[in-house]
């Protein structure tokens, strides 16, 4: 049973294993991503039902552009399909939809659909569902450094006085607390350029389950593991 007293405020998920799942089932990769999307919907619902405040999922990294054209455009289409079919339901469930990443560099129709989704859900007060899309943590850190450098150059900030919180305020996640729990599926145990700064004190739970098979029950198991951990944040 999930201990509702010891739930993470923010869960971040590396949804890994769609390709292997597809192969195992004799299908192409996009079929795996489609099944991954279904699994994601169930985890959004479970998070919202449990009263988790923030859920961030890694859907498309800056490195994913290296994949085949068909796979990249297939993932963009899945995102569009998801927004077309699910935005009303997200809104009815009081969910705020956000993206972290350089989304403005995506095709125009994707940018329009995303902007519309942010606008529609921005005043909701339930779960904040954050999709990392065209996201890379190192690029995000460089962007924050460039912003601060520009401000130091034009005299609106003093270089020696820059603090960690000044830095945080210039990341995509400026209005999002650090993740308490990072889950990665498919047996891989890496961060892969996801929330490098933000995950400094996160708990990690790794599961061998491939993302399309990641069920609300498996999610609950990860939350139980988190609930049983003692967090010290570098103290004793």
Which residue ranges make up the site for ligand FPP (CB under 6 A)?
A: 15-20, 33, 36-37, 40, 59, 64, 75, 78-79, 82, 131, 186, 211
Contact present, 199 and 179 (Cβ < 8 Å): yes
Output the residue with the shortest Cβ distance to ligand FPP: 19
Report the SS3 class of residue 92: helix
Task: Kindly tell me which of 41 and 221 has the beta carbon lying closer to ligand FPP.
Answer: 41
Adjacency order of strands within the sheet including 128-135: 96-100, 128-135, 54-61, 10-14, 181-184, 203-206
Catalytic annotation present for 166: no
**Residue 72 or 168 having the CB closest to ligand FPP:** 72
**Judging by beta carbons within 10 Å of its beta carbon (0-12, 13-18, 19+), is residue 108 exposed, middle or buried?**
exposed
Nearer to ligand FPP, 118 or 201 (CB): 118
Between 173 and 186, name the residue whose CB sits nearer to ligand FPP.
186
Catalytic residue among 64, 93, 124, 193: 64
Q: With 0-12 CB in 10 A as exposed, 13-18 as middle and 19+ as buried, what is 64?
A: middle
Structure-block tokens of residue 204: 């990690």
Q: Is 16 a catalytic residue?
A: yes
**CA angle, corner 197, sides to 196 and 202, nearest 5?**
80
Which sequence positions are flagged as catalytic?
Answer: 16, 64
């Amino acid at each position: 049973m999930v201990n509702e007293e010891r739930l993470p405020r923010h869960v971040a998920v590396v949804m890994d294993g769609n390709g292997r799942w597809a192969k195992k089932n004799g299908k192409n990769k996009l079929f795996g991503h489609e099944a991954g999307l279904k699994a994601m919907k169930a985890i959004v619902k479970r998070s919202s039902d449990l009263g988790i405040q923030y859920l961030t999922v890694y859907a498309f990294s800056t490195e994913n552009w290296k994949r085949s054209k068909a796979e990249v455009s297939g993932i963009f289409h899945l995102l569009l399909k998801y927004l077309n079919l699910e935005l009303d339901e997200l809104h009815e469930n009081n969910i705020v939809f956000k993206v972290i990443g350089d989304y403005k560099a995506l095709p125009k129709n994707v940018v329009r659909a995303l902007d519309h989704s942010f606008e529609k859900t921005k005043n909701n007060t339930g779960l904040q569902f954050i999709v990392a899309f065209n996201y890379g943590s190192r690029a995000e850190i460089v962007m924050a450094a460039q912003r601060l450098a520009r401000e130091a150059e034009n005299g609106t900030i003093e270089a020696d006085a820059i603090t960690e919180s000044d830095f945080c305020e210039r990341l995509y996640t400026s209005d999002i607390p650090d993740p308490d729990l990072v889950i990665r599926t498919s047996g891989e145990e890496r961060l892969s350029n996801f929330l490098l700064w933000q995950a400094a004190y996160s708990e990690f739970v790794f599961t061998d389950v491939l993302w399309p098979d990641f069920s609300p029950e498996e999610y609950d198991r990860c939350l139980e593991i988190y609930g049983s951990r003692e967090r010290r944040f570098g103290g004793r």
